[in-house]
Amino acid sequence: MQALVYWGPGKLALEEADVPSLKPDEVLVQVERVGICGSELEGYLGHSSIRVPPLVMGHEFCGTIAAMGDEVRGLSLGDKVVVNPLIACRTCPSCLAGKINICRNRQLIGIHRPGAFAEFVAVPYENAISVPKEMDASLASLAEPLAVAIHAVKLGLRPLDDLLILGAGPIGLLCLLAAKEMGAGSIVVLDLQPDRLAHAERLGAVGLSPRDLDARREEIFPLGIPSVIDCVGVQAAREQAMHAVDAGGKVILVGLGHGRSDLPVNHVVRQEISLIGSYTYSHEDFQQAVALLRQGKIDIRHWTQTRDLAEGPAAFQELVEGKGSFSKIFLKP
For 1-25, what is each residue's pLDDT tens digit?
A: 999 999 999 999 999 999 999 999 9
Domains with residue ranges and CATH for the chain: 2-142+300-332 (3.90.180.10), 149-277 (3.40.50.720)
What confidence category does residue 255 fall into, taking pLDDT thresholds of 50, 70 and 90? very high
Which residue, 193, 133, 141, is CA-closest to 168?
A: 193
Amino acid in position 239? E
Residues in the chain, overall count? 333
pLDDT of residue 106: 93
Which residue, 192, 63, 47, 194, is CA-closest to 119?
A: 63
3-state secondary structure of 151: helix
Residue 323 has pLDDT above 90, yes or no: no
pLDDT of residue 18: 95
Burial 55-68 (b: 16+ CB within 10 A, else e): bbbbbbbbbbbebb
**Under 8 Å between Cβ of 190 and 208:** yes
Amino acid in position 21? S
Burial classification of residue 192, based on how many CB atoms lie within 10 Å of its CB (0-12 exposed, 13-18 middle, 19 or more buried) = middle
Write down the mean pLDDT value for the chain.
Answer: 95
Which residue, 257, 282, 327, is CA-closest to 155?
A: 282
pLDDT of residue 25: 97
Residue pLDDT, tens place only, 128-169: 999 999 999 999 999 999 999 999 999 999 999 999 999 999
Question: How does DSSP assign 262-313, residue by residue?
Answer: ---HHHHHHTTPEEEE--S--HHHHHHHHHHHHTT----TTTEEEEEGGGHH
